Amino acid sequence: MAGASDKARFYLEQSVPELRDLERRKLFTHEEITAITRKRSDFEHILCARGSTPADYARYATYESNLLSLTKKRALRLGAKGRSIAHTGQRRIFFILDRGTRKFHGDVGLWMQYIEYCQHNKAHKKLLEVFTKCLRLHPMKSGLWIYAARWALESQADMSSARSYMQRGLRFCQNDLNLWVQYAKLEMVYIAKIGARHKILGLNDVREEKKVDEADDLNADTIALPDVTAEDVNPRLQDLNAVDETALQNLASTPALTGAIPLAIFDAAMKQFENDPIIAETFFDAIAEFDVACRPKLLQHIIDHMSHNSPTSVAVMSCEAKLSLVGIEPTSADLPLALGRALQILKAASKERPQYRTDFAERAVMVLLPLALVSDELDEDVAKVVYASIRNYIKVLAETPQKGRDGSGIAKLVAKLRSNGRNSQARAILEEALKVQGDQEELQQLLAVVG
C-alpha cells in the first residue's frame, strides 16, 4: 500500500504549480484549492491501489473536465488569459484517459470516452493517435472502424483516410454485414457531397447551358446579330472566365462520381455472402436513400444481380416495387402511376408465390409506410389507396403467427422497425393494426413500449 501512496503523491505533486497559479490569479480561493487537492488525492489513491476499475478513470476524467469548464468560465469573467489554463487542463485529462486505456485496454467504453473528448475539444492530432492505438487493440470491433471512417470524412474531409479505415476494417471483419453496408453508404455520402459542391459552383449549369446553346444553333432558322460582351472588348476576361468542358466531362466520368466504387463494394459483398438476396435488398435500401445521379444505375444493377442469382426470391420483387417509387416526391404528378405499378408488382408476385404471402405483405407495408407518414402532402385519393392497402396487408400479417412464439407477424415487423430505429413507422403500423383488429392486448402493450 505504501507503493500506491507514493505513486499517488508523485502524481499529485505534479499538479502543485498549476494549483498555485490558479490561486495566484484568484480564480479559486485557498479553501477551494484545498478541496480540489483533497478530491484529486482521493481519485489518485483509488487509481493507484489494487482493484481500480475503468469507471474510476472515467469518473476522474469527468471531474477534471467539469473543473476545467468552471476554470474557463471564471477566467473569462475575470479577464484572465485562459489559453494556458485550457492547455494544462486538457493535458491532465488526456493523461488520465491515457493511463486508463493503457491499464484497461480491453474496455471499449473508456476508449470511446477518450475519443469523444478529443473530438469535443477538436484535438485532431491527438485523436488520430487514439484511433491508431484503439484499432490496433480492437481490430474486430467493426463499429470502431466505421466511427473512424466517418470522422475522417466529416471532420477532416479526407476521403482517402476514410476508405483506408473501411478497407482495413473489412480485412478483419469480412463477415460483418453492417461494415459492408456502411462502406457503401460512406461512398454515397461522398458522391452526394461532390454533387452538392458542383451545384453550388454552378458546374452543372455550365454543361446544361452549353447543351441548350448547341441545340439553339442547330434549330435556328433566323440570322441573329452578334452580341458584344465585355469579353470581346477585353479578351483576357474570356480566358479568366472560361470553363474547360473537357475537364468537366472527365470529372463527371471519374469512378468516384459514376458509382463505380459502391458498385464494386456491392459485388464484393455478394461474393462474400454467397449472393444472399436479403443482403442485396439491404444494399438496395441503403443506396436508395441518396439522391444522386448514379442512383438509378446502382439500383438497377442490384436488381439485375438478384434476378440472375435468385430469380424466385421475394426480395427481387420487393426491390422492383421499391424502384418504382424511388425519387418520386409525394406531391409529384407521377406518384399515382408509380404507386399503382408498385402495388401491381407486389400483388402479382404474391399470387405467383402464395407460400410467401406473408413476406410480400411485410415488404408491401414497408414500401407504403413512408407515404403514409406524409399523408398530409398526398392527394386525397392517393392517401385513401395507401391506407386501404396497408390495412389489407396488416390483415395478412395478423393472420400469420410468428415462428416459435405466440403473436402475429405484426409484432415481428414492429420489432424489425424498432431495431432499425424507425419508431415512428412502428407506431404508425400499430395504430393502423388497432383500427383493423380492435383493442388487442398484445398490440396495446407494443404501442406502450414504442411510445
For 61-117, the pLDDT digits (tens) are 999 999 999 999 988 888 776 567 778 889 999 999 999 999 999 999 999 999 999
24 belongs to a structural domain:
yes
The closest of 260, 328, 261, 254 to 291, measured between CA atoms, is 328
**Does the pLDDT of residue 17 top 80, yes or no?**
yes
* Domain carrying residue 12: 2-138
pLDDT for 417: 79
Least confident of 63-77, 152-166, 393-407: 393-407
Q: What is the mean pLDDT of residues 51-60?
A: 94
Region 359-386 average pLDDT? 85
Q: Which three cell numbers stand for residue 163?
A: 476508405
Q: Is residue 425 in a domain?
A: yes
Per-residue model confidence as pLDDT tens digits over 269-301: 999 999 999 999 999 999 999 988 899 999 999
Write out pLDDT tens, residues 312-322.
888 998 899 99
- Last residue in a domain, options 107, 138, 169: 138
Confidence of residue 231 (pLDDT cuts 50, 70, 90): very low
Q: Which stretch of 122-131, 169-178, 245-254 has the lowest confidence by average pLDDT?
A: 245-254
DSSP string, 321-370: HHHHHTT--TT-TTHHHHHHHHHHHHHHHHHH-GGGHHHHHHHHHHHHHH
pTM: 0.81
Residue 123 lies in a domain: yes
280 lies in some domain: no
Domain annotation covers residue 394: yes
- Residue 393 is predicted with a pLDDT of 85
Question: Does the pLDDT value for residue 226 go beyond 50?
Answer: no
pLDDT band at 423 (very low <50, low <70, confident <90, very high): confident
Residue 298 lies in a domain: no
CA distance 363 to 349: 12
Q: Which pLDDT does position 275 carry in this prediction?
A: 92
Q: Look up residue 95 and give its three cell numbers.
A: 493523461
By CB atoms closer than 10 A (0-12, 13-18, 19+), residue 245 is: exposed
Domain final residue, candidates 138, 160, 186:
138
Listing DSSP states for 267-281 in one string gives: HHHHHHTTT-HHHHH
Residue 396 covered by a domain:
yes
Domain count, the chain: 2
C-alpha cell at 408: 402475429
Looking at residue 233, its pLDDT comes to: 46
User: Residue 429, Cα to own-chain centre: how many angstroms?
Assistant: 25
Task: Please report the pLDDT score of residue 82 as a whole number.
Answer: 58
Q: How far apart are CA 390 and CA 161, in angstroms?
A: 44
Give the pLDDT of residue 367. 85
pLDDT value of position 401? 57
pLDDT beyond 90 at 218: no
pLDDT at 433: 79
Residue 90 in any domain: the answer is yes
For position 247, what pLDDT does the model report? 52
The last residue of one of the domains, among 84, 110, 138, is 138
**Band of residue 240 on the pLDDT scale cut at 50, 70, 90:** very low
CB 92 within 8 A of CB 15: yes
Max Cα–Cα distance, the chain, nearest Å: 101
pLDDT at 230: 45
